[in-house]
Amino acid sequence: MCRNIKTLYNFEPRATNDDIRAAAVQYVRKISGFTKPSAANEAAFTRAVEEIAQASSTLLGSLTTTAPPRSRNVEAAKAHARAMRRFGS
């Protein structure tokens, strides 16, 4: 999976529409192989992003859990600590 696509579910604060759309853009870029589509493919690219963002929003709104929401700041600090252990300073 693309490293830029982050988990959006069960965080406080909740994922915004911008977060969901950014993940959809990364997904479409990954599977299409285009960072920026040509003019001929732009409409299809944009439509795919919108459809995936909508499906992702529906999915996130439908999921349930009994786990407490995670903090984005705490998870970012954990990721930073892992990176420091892995790659050093």
Could you state, in order of their start, the residue ranges of all structural domains in the chain? 11-87
Residue numbers in the chain where pLDDT is lower than 50: 1
Question: Looking at the chain, how many residues does it have?
Answer: 89
pLDDT at 88: 84
pLDDT at 3: 66
Q: What sign does the CA torsion over 2, 73, 64, 46 have?
A: negative
Q: Which two tokens stand for residue 73?
A: 């700041």
Q: What is the pTM of this model?
A: 0.82
pLDDT at 5: 77
Residues 6+ apart with CB under 8 A from 15: 8, 9, 60
Q: How far apart are the C-alpha atoms of 26 and 73, rounded to whole Å?
A: 22
